[in-house]
Amino acid sequence: MSRILVVEDESAIAELISINLRHAGFEVMIAATAEQAQAAVDGVLPDLVILDWMLPGQSGLALAKRWRSDARTREMPVIMLTARADESDKVAGLDAGADDYLTKPFSTNELMARIRSVLRRKAPEALDSAVEVGPLKIDPATRRVTRVIDGEVREVKLGATEFRLLHFFMTHPERVHSRSQLLDRVWGDHVFIEERTVDVHVKRLREALGPVQCAPMIETVRGAGYRLTGQAEAMLMAAAKALSA
C-alpha cells in the first residue's frame, strides 16, 4: 500500500483528497503547515507528496526546494497543488522540483490519474544494465551517473525525473525524440502533462551535466525535439584544439 502525504492548509480540500485516496486504497497522512509536513517526512518517508503552494509560514515551493536538496528526500515524488495558474508559476513549481503541477479548482479524477501516473514512473529499474554513451555511464542498479576526468570518477547528481530522462536518452542514443514521445516513454501516461514539462527537465538535466562537461551531449533539434549524441565530446575536443592551434 502506497503512503501519500497531503500538505494542505484548507481542511475541506485536505479531507476531500484524503477520502478519495483512502477509497482508492492509499494510506494517507495530512499536514496543514510546512513544519508539520517536514516532521511527517522526517518520521516516515512517503511514497508521494501532494503539496499546496500557499501554506502558513514557509511556502510549499520553499519546502519542495528543501526536499530536493536533501539526499534522503531528493527522489520523493511531489505533485504541486495550487491556485497559481500562470505559466511562470508552473515553471517555478517544476524548477523547484515538483514532478507534476495541478491548479485549483481541480477534479478528483484528474488528481487520481496524476497520482497513478507519478507512482508508475517511480517503478524500479534495478534490473536494468549499466549503459555507456561517449564519456557518460549510467547505472540504474546503483542510480549513479559518472564520468571519468583525468583518471578521477566524477559523479553527476540528478533528481528522479532527470535520471529517468537521461536513462531513456542513453538507451536510445543519436535518435531524435519529440516532446510527446518523451512524455510517453519517460513520464508514462501524459494525458494531463504539458509538453513544456519536457523543456524544463531537459534544462535541469543539462545544468546537472555541466560540471562534467557533458551538457552538449543533449542536443536540441529545432522543430523536432531532443537527442543525445556520444559525438559531442569529440566535437568539443576538436574545437578546443582548433582554438589552441
- Asked whether residue 196 carries a pLDDT value surpassing 70, the answer given is yes
Q: Is residue 126 part of a domain?
A: no
pLDDT higher than 50, residue 242: no
Q: Which residues pair with 228 in a beta bridge?
A: 218
Domain end residue (candidates: 89, 121, 153): 121
**Residue whose C-alpha is closest to residue 154's, from 139, 179, 134, 137:** 137
Nearest to 93 by CA among 82, 77, 107: 82
Q: How many domains does the structure of the chain reveal?
A: 2
Q: Are residues 91 and 184 in the same domain?
A: no
pLDDT in tens, 123-163: 554 346 788 998 999 998 788 999 998 889 999 999 888 99
User: For residue range 181-194, what is the model confidence (pLDDT) as tens digits?
Assistant: 888 778 765 456 77
Domain region containing 100 = 3-121
- If asked whether residues 141 and 238 sit together in one domain, one would say yes
pLDDT (tens digit per residue) in 19-60: 999 988 888 999 999 999 999 998 888 889 999 988 888 888
Between the alpha carbon of residue 184 and those of residues 102, 157, 174, 177, the distances in Å are: 19, 24, 18, 10
Local structure of residue 121 (DSSP, 8 states): H
pTM of the model: 0.53
What is the separation, in whole angstroms, between the first and last Cα of the chain? 62
The CA-CA-CA angle for residues 211, 75, 129, to 5°, reads 75
**Residue 50 is part of a domain; what is its CATH number?**
3.40.50.2300
